[in-house]
Amino acid sequence: MSKLFKGISEIIVCYDNDDAGQNGAKEICRSVGAKAKKINWEPDRAKSYDLNDLFLECGSKNEFLKEIERYARTAKAEVEAILKPSASLLDLFKDRVALESKNEIIGISSGYSRFDRQFSGMSGIILVGGIPKGGKTTFVGNIAIRTAEQGYATIYMDYENGPLNLLGKIHTNIFHRTIGEIRKDYKDIFDPSKHKPEHARLLKILNNLYFIRPSARDVNDAFASAQEISTQILERYTAYLRDDLAYTKPILFIIDSLQKLPVLNTNDKRSSIDGWLRSFEYIRDQYNVTFLIVSELARGKYNKPALEMFKESGDIEYTADLALFLENQDPVINLQTVANRNGEIGEPIVYMADFKHWKLNEMDDYSIRKKLKNEK
């Protein structure tokens, strides 16, 4: 169909607001290509709404044309252009540099002030490593709580704990009770008329937090490569947020952990991990998605933070935008930067762990020394 519109730089497609009309508009756009853009009616419009209704609302030809022009300016393509001049990225680059110069957030705020100042928030592919039972899940879990509470869609791909166990950890964090205390006093804690601030906070977090555990069975293609399968899996969730829920803010995927991801159409675990990594890169660039990935460490690699310490991590040294190492000196945890593609290494960030209540709080050296002294 694209040959029919040769020489025309832009086509605006406007169908009825019902499902059939919107799906038909999408098909036309995909048939024509990137030059076709679809008008999106406001969410509160009736399903039967179309151009005739708009004309009747406007009342005159001139007002109608003005409205059509306004809608056309906000129309969006359903197909990405194959080639885009690099000049189209100039404003984006300038905005990023301006934000970096002010130490402002690029992408998603972690909810930790020192972390956000040092790394300008979270963006790209972030790798977090540490010894077994060293606080990795506590670290990414606390970030999940903080990002969801800020209204960011947070998709938690969990292969370590299970959703009910994670919900239990979140409850210990919000209500500051151990799991044992929650079981003992569950009637009191679960009563929405009590602990109202905690319940309101919990509901806000859980409305933006999604637990998933995808597998190769989610893609019905026996001949697809590991990268093709993983890309389809990630695109499905991202497209649902973007298209079905009309979510426009940056999205955070938390992967716990890299080594537990399902092996996809290959007998080689390393090749499967590489397939996942290539998919992370594609989704990052295509959909403005940030990945926070937990990784295990190779045996004997616990002492000196370096990229090669990450176990079976494939091409992670070419993929990670930011690699971090958690040094657990319970109750103090040092977050060290192993590699930072977009900035300096910087000083370690210090946290005080409260594993009993699944909490991790940023501390400065003085406040840590004071707290430890008071506990002795």
Give residues with Cβ within 8 angstroms of 287, minimum separation 6.
Answer: 235, 238, 242, 251
| Residue 171 reports pLDDT greater than 90 | yes
| Residue 172 reports pLDDT greater than 80 | yes
pLDDT tens, residue by residue, 242-258: 888 889 889 999 999 88
Residues 243 and 130 in one domain: yes
Q: Is residue 91 part of a domain?
A: no
Classify the C-alpha dihedral 22-27-29-34 as positive or negative.
Answer: positive
Q: How confident is the model at residue 367 (pLDDT cuts 50, 70, 90)?
A: low
What's 178's domain CATH number? 3.40.50.300
pLDDT tens, residue by residue, 41-81: 888 889 899 999 999 999 999 999 999 899 888 888 776 65
Rounded to two decimals, the pTM is: 0.72
Per-residue pLDDT, averaged over 351-360, amounts to 94
Residues 40 and 171 in one domain: no
Residues 101 and 180 in one domain: yes
Which range (29-38, 43-52, 112-121, 255-264) has the least confidence?
A: 29-38
Per-residue pLDDT, averaged over 15-35, amounts to 85
How far, rounded to the nearest angstrom, does the alpha carbon of residue 316 sit from its chain's CA centroid?
19
Q: Which domain holds residue 317?
A: 97-375
Residues 281 and 351 in one domain: yes
| pLDDT in the model for residue 342 | 82
Q: Is residue 62 part of a domain?
A: yes
| pLDDT in the model for residue 77 | 79
Query: Among residues 31, 57, 83, which one ends one of the domains?
Result: 83
Residues 20 and 73 in one domain: yes
The Cβ-side half-sphere exposure at 227, using a 13 Å CA radius, reads 10
Per-residue pLDDT, averaged over 150-158, amounts to 95
| pLDDT in the model for residue 73 | 86
Query: Among residues 32, 60, 83, which one ends one of the domains?
Result: 83
- Of residues 137, 135, 158, 140, the one with CA closest to residue 292: 140
Of 372 and 208, the structure prediction assigns the larger pLDDT to: 208
Per-residue pLDDT, averaged over 316-343, amounts to 88
User: How many domains does the chain divide into?
Assistant: 2
Residues 103 and 65 in one domain: no
Work out whether strand 209-212 and strand 251-256 pair parallel, antiparallel, or are unpaired. unpaired
Of 309 and 195, the structure prediction assigns the larger pLDDT to: 195
Q: Which helix (H) or strand (E) holds 13?
A: strand 11-13
Q: How confident is the model at residue 366 (pLDDT cuts 50, 70, 90)?
A: very low
Alpha helices in 176-251 (DSSP H): 179-184, 186-189, 196-206, 226-239
Residues 138 and 252 in one domain: yes
Residues 128 and 66 in one domain: no
Of 253 and 318, the structure prediction assigns the larger pLDDT to: 253
Residues 107 and 73 in one domain: no
Per-residue pLDDT, averaged over 109-133, amounts to 92
CA–CA distance, 21 with 316 (Å, rounded to integer): 44
| Residue 206 reports pLDDT greater than 90 | yes
Average pLDDT along the chain: 84
Q: Is residue 159 part of a domain?
A: yes
| pLDDT in the model for residue 218 | 65
| pLDDT in the model for residue 82 | 46
Q: Is residue 364 part of a domain?
A: yes
Residues 218 and 342 in one domain: yes
Q: Is residue 89 part of a domain?
A: no
Q: Is residue 142 part of a domain?
A: yes
| pLDDT in the model for residue 142 | 97
Q: Is residue 202 part of a domain?
A: yes
Of 263 and 57, the structure prediction assigns the larger pLDDT to: 57
Structural contact between residues 78 and 29, judged by C-beta atoms closer than 8 angstroms? yes
Q: Is residue 92 part of a domain?
A: no
38-47, 75-84, 114-123, 367-376 — most confident range: 114-123
Residues 41 and 138 in one domain: no
Residues 194 and 111 in one domain: yes
| Residue 35 reports pLDDT greater than 70 | yes
How far, rounded to the nearest angstrom, does the alpha carbon of residue 80 sit from its chain's CA centroid?
21
Query: Among residues 26, 56, 83, which one ends one of the domains?
Result: 83
